[in-house]
Amino acid sequence: MKRVYMDNGATTRTHPEVLQAMEPYFLETYGNPSSVHNFGREALKGVEEAREQVQKLINAHDPQEIIFTSGGTESDNLAIIGFAMANRKKGKHIITSAVEHHGVLHTCEYLEKELGFSVTYLPVDKFGLVNVEEFQKTIGEDTILATIMMGNNEIGTIQPIKELAEVAREQGVVFHTDAVQAVGNMPVDVQDLGVDMLALSAHKFHGPKGVGALYVRKGVKLHPHMHGGAQEKKRRGSTHNTTGIIGLGKAAELARDNLSEKVEKVTKLRDKLIKGIEENIEEIVFNGHPEQRLPGNVNFCFRYIEGESLLLSLDLEGIAASSGSACTSGSLDPSHVLLATGLSHEVAHGSLRLTLSYFNEEEEVDYVIEKLPGIIDKLRQMSPLYQSKS
């Protein structure tokens, strides 16, 4: 059976060259980078090279501004809890948005519920955008931190980070952005954006799972989130995940290679897929912003059907996709992101996310456009909601 992977927003295939770069660190250069001996020193060299590769990918000023973590979630936790706890004497108010990934949202909720912080969740418009002026108005005396994501993992909307960070800087508020979906998939320049902290995760751009990084601008003080050894200049305890870090470094290097060409390719595939769906299927809702959008993200709601049924039907045709449907997550409410953009529960249940990478090819897009209308039709024929309308 044909197999088409269009769930790159969930995770990506590890690039074969990434695995190749990692392999010697399993079997030969397996020392602990904190060790004095040769096995350790060689491993350390690899780790520091990887740090420079990540630095270059996001144009950080200094490799020491990169802290390696176990992924996007840990980076967000470290940025938010680590900063909030270290600076809580300056204030206890945090600003975020209603459409953040749970790695940010649940972290903010934890600070609110368990640690005495107050959090503002900025609403978004129908495209999923926060409003810069509204953000500015929300900043108060007590505000110490703002955390607003760069590219939305569900609907692909890219927030005006540069403008938001500028407002924050003017008001003396430290600004973190969860750029897990963006980094490696589009140009991201921390100096140009003017952010203080930025989270990234290797497995979203053909690196290995279980490794990520947090950029922390020099001078920004944090508590560690992993309390332990003196690794990462005492900012993150635990034996270095050498193989993962080498993989992240290699993925960062590969991502920089011809980035603009890859972005162009993916954007073209995305737009073809969007057009193909819009032209062939009725009663649909396009989600996210049409232009300020991650290169690989396509998201629609199909009225009268439920997302998980759609995913299963696509899977039977070999197409791997995802949905903000409640039933895929085992919760009762559908995606908080889709609800925040103003969709009803009923419509939000019927969402489909197709996420592309530069590994995808045009014929795969054609295949999806060929198969999807029949599947939607079959599921609608089964739906009591559709019948009642026709």
Query: What is the bridge-based pairing of β-strands 4-5 and 319-320?
Result: parallel
Residues numbered 55 to 114 that lie near other proteins (CB under 8 A) are none
Residue 129 is classified by DSSP as: P
Query: What is the bridge-based pairing of β-strands 197-201 and 212-216?
Result: antiparallel
Selected from 304, 351, 358, 376, the binder of other proteins by CB under 8 A is: 304
Residue span binding ligand PLP (CB under 6 A) among the ranges 161-169, 174-182, 215-223, 274-282: 174-182
12 binds, among ligand PLP, other proteins, its own copies, none (CB under 5 to 8 A by kind): its own copies
Selected from 20, 239, 258, 387, the binder of other proteins by CB under 8 A is: 387
Selected from 8, 29, 73, 322, the binder of ligand PLP by CB under 6 A is: 73
Residue span binding other proteins (CB under 8 A) among the ranges 99-107, 263-271, 369-377, 379-387: 379-387
* Nearest alpha-carbon partner for 267 in 297, 288, 300: 297
Q: How far apart are CA 69 and CA 72, in angstroms?
A: 8
Selected from 157, 309, 322, 355, the binder of other proteins by CB under 8 A is: 309
178 lines the binding site for ligand PLP (CB under 6 A): yes
221 binds, among its own copies, ligand PLP, other proteins, none (CB under 5 to 8 A by kind): none
Q: Which two tokens stand for residue 286?
A: 């396009």
44 binds, among its own copies, other proteins, ligand PLP, none (CB under 5 to 8 A by kind): other proteins
* Nearest alpha-carbon partner for 164 in 133, 186, 120, 199: 133
Residue 327 is classified by DSSP as: H
Using CA atoms, how far residue 120 sits from 85, 92, 135, 145, 148, in Å, is: 17, 11, 10, 11, 11
**Phi/psi of residue 347, each to 5°?**
-70, -40
Which is catalytic among the residues 284, 285, 320, 327? 327
Please check whether residue 350 is in contact with residue 281, taking contact to mean a CB–CB distance below 8 angstroms.
Answer: no
Shortest distance, position 317 Cβ to ligand PLP, whole Å: 25
Please check whether residue 184 is in contact with residue 200, taking contact to mean a CB–CB distance below 8 angstroms.
Answer: yes
**Between 224 and 263, how does the x/- string for binding to ligand PLP read (CB under 6 A)?**
--------------xx------------------------
Please check whether residue 119 is in contact with residue 111, taking contact to mean a CB–CB distance below 8 angstroms.
Answer: yes
Please check whether residue 53 is in contact with residue 42, taking contact to mean a CB–CB distance below 8 angstroms.
Answer: no
Residue span binding other proteins (CB under 8 A) among the ranges 14-22, 113-121, 309-317, 364-372: 309-317
240 binds, among other proteins, ligand PLP, its own copies, none (CB under 5 to 8 A by kind): its own copies
Q: Which two tokens stand for residue 304?
A: 């009268």
Strand order in the sheet with 174-178: 66-69, 212-216, 197-201, 174-178, 143-147, 93-97, 118-122
71 lines the binding site for ligand PLP (CB under 6 A): yes
Q: Where are any strands of DSSP class E within 163-241?
A: 174-178, 197-201, 212-216
327 catalytic, yes or no? yes
Q: Which is nearer to ligand PLP, 218 or 234 (CB)?
A: 234
Q: What residues are labeled active site? A: 327
* Residues lying near ligand PLP in the complex (CB under 6 A): 71-73, 76, 101, 103, 149, 153, 178, 180-181, 201, 203, 212, 238-239
* Residues lying near other proteins in the complex (CB under 8 A): 36, 41, 44, 304-309, 312, 316, 325-328, 330, 332, 334, 344-346, 349, 381-385, 387
